[in-house]
Amino acid sequence: MASGERLADPRARAYAHRYLARASYLLRHHRDAETHYLRALDASIEAGDDLGQGHTLLEMARMWTERGHARRGLDCAQRAMARYGAAGYRPGHAETLTQIGWCHLELGEYRHALDHCERALPLLRELDDRPWLASTWDSLGQAHHHLTQHPDAVSCYRQALDLFDDLGDRCEQATTLINLGDTQRASGDATAARSTWCRALTILDDLDHPTADTVRARLRTT
């Protein structure tokens, strides 16, 4: 942490703290990650850097949502949206729409999730931001699933799967396959669900991912 504080340029200091926050979060040092993100945000405010504030707030939104604090994540995402708007940064605007949609999804506010993710789609397509586009399709699939709009959910998941496959992101591909299988089971097609979960399990076993046991449990009970 001291190395970040020694930097005189607040923009460089913000970048250093964001980097340290990411590393801390990956190591599950959550308190350190939060501290570094807050210091990055302070440094970007000191520099008058709207773009840097947006980047930090968007990463904080993701962190809080992944940790089960979607309301705090939503607050950070909404603040990120304002900073990206002030900076005129369209990629950040599009990505934050998806993040806000994900927060609403985790809060059980499925129609709000649909609204934000659907607004993000054309912007992400125009920007050719395929990683975020894939995540947006997956979030849309989950929202449709919870609204029992199963055909729409399946269509969205297939869009996400095609993109994750192109990107070579096998972990996210497996996650979307699990979601697709859940929708297939909910719509009454247990055979399709089992086939889809088997595909997910193959990937997760290859990656030695702990979620594989969750998929095995689904297969045992379906």
Average pLDDT of span 123-152: 98
Place of tokens 């990656």: 207
Instruction: Say what the pLDDT of residue 1 is.
Output: 46
pLDDT in tens, 46-96: 999 999 999 999 999 999 999 999 999 999 999 999 999 999 999 999 999
Residue 206 to residue 208: CA distance in whole angstroms: 6
Instruction: Say what the pLDDT of residue 8 is.
Output: 80
Spatial CB neighbours of 68, under 8 Å, sequence gap ≥ 6: 106
pLDDT in tens, 166-220: 999 999 999 999 999 999 999 999 999 999 999 999 999 999 999 999 999 999 9
Residue 180 to residue 201: CA distance in whole angstroms: 13
Domain range spanning residue 218?
Answer: 169-222
* Residue 191: inside a domain: yes
φ/ψ bin of 169: left (φ > 0), alpha (ψ from -120 to 50), beta (otherwise): beta
* Residue 186: inside a domain: yes
* Residue 177: inside a domain: yes
- Residue 38 confidence class, pLDDT cut points 50, 70, 90: very high
* Residue 163: inside a domain: no
The amino acid that residue 11 corresponds to is: R
> Any idea how long the chain is?
222
Average pLDDT, the chain: 96
Instruction: Say what the pLDDT of residue 21 is.
Output: 98
* Residue 7: inside a domain: no
> Per residue in 157-196, is it b (16+ CB within 10 Å) or e — as a string?
bebbbebbeeeebbebbbbbbbbbbbbbbebebeebbbeb
Continuous segment of H or E residues that includes residue 85: helix 70-87
* Residue 107: inside a domain: no
* Residue 195: inside a domain: yes
What is the pTM for the complete model shown? Answer: 0.92
* Residue 61: inside a domain: no
Overall domain count for the chain? 1
Query: Residue 199, CB half-sphere, CA atoms under 13 Å: how many?
Result: 18
